[in-house]
Structures are given as C-alpha cells and as structure tokens.
C-alpha cells in the first residue's frame, strides 16, 4: 500500500535515470513532506533533463558546486550517481581543479576525499 507517493512513482524513476542515483533522504521526503517532495520532484526532473547541456555535464557542475560550498553531504549525494551517468574519475579530477581555483584548496580536497571513497580512486 502506498500513500502520497504512488502517483510519483514514474517521476521518481525518471529522476533516478537522470541523476544516476536518488539519495535516500530525498526518497524519505516522499513520506515526510509529500507536497514538498512533489514540487521538488517536478523541479528536479525539469532541471536535470538533457537540453542545451547534457545531464552528464550537469552532474559535473553539481559536483563542482557542492564541493565549492564544502557541503559534505551534497558532495557525496552528487558523486554517488556520477558513474551511472558515465562520468569518469578523470572528468571529476578536472572539475575539481576548477573548484580549487574558485573556492580554494580545502574545497578541492573535500572533493578528492569523497571521490576516493565513492569512485574507488
């Protein structure tokens, strides 16, 4: 049996294919704050859609932003789905170097630590 999220099953699967992996906490939002989940799901599906730039490039952008904000959870959440979208470790290396330039060495290092844990490199 399902409550609020049944209708969103399709939207959830669609989003997973776009971002590689949906973080558990986002899935739990479907029960905890269904309206917020519903709006976020639509917004996310819109934002992550292939368009002028591919979802793979969007993933690299998201990793770089999360790293620049030194947000440990966001870095891991974004990196977790990266390989499913075909993002390579070399591409992340280069995105993190841009992070170094614009946000400093500790931001770069935070990215490298997570990359090592998640992508086994």
Residue ranges that bind its own copies, judged by CB under 8 A: 23, 25-26, 28-29, 32-33, 35-36, 39-40, 42-44, 46-47, 51-53, 57-58, 60-62, 64-66, 68-71, 73-74, 77, 88, 90-91, 93-95, 97-107, 109-110, 112-113, 116, 121
Instruction: Tell me how far, at minimum, the Cβ of 9 lies from its own copies, in Å.
Output: 20
Instruction: Tell me how far, at minimum, the Cβ of 33 lies from its own copies, in Å.
Output: 6
Distances (CA, A) of 18 to 8, 13, 95, 101, 118: 15, 9, 19, 28, 19
With a CB cutoff of 8 Å and minimum separation 6, the contacts of 67 are 75, 96, 99, 103, 107, 108, 110, 111, 114
Cα angle, residue 17 at apex, residues 16 and 20 outer, rounded to 5°: 70
Instruction: Tell me how far, at minimum, the Cβ of 102 lies from its own copies, in Å.
Output: 5
Indicate the residue among 84 and 99 with the shorter CB distance to its own copies.
99
Indicate the residue among 10 and 97 with the shorter CB distance to its own copies.
97
Q: Give the span between the Cα atoms of 15 and 22, in whole angstroms.
A: 7
Instruction: Tell me how far, at minimum, the Cβ of 20 lies from its own copies, in Å.
Output: 14
């Amino acid at each position: 049996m399902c409550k609020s999220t049944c209708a969103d099953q399709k939207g959830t699967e669609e989003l997973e294919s776009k971002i590689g992996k949906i973080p558990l906490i986002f899935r739990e939002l479907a029960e905890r704050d269904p309206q917020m989940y519903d709006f976020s799901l639509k917004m996310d599906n819109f934002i992550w859609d292939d368009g002028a730039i591919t979802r793979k490039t969007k993933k690299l952008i998201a990793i770089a932003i999360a790293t620049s904000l030194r947000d440990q959870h966001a870095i891991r959440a974004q990196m977790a789905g990266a390989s499913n979208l075909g993002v390579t470790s070399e591409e992340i290396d280069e995105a993190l170097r841009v992070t170094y330039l614009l946000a400093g060495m500790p931001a770069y290092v935070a990215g490298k630590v997570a990359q090592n844990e998640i992508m086994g490199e």
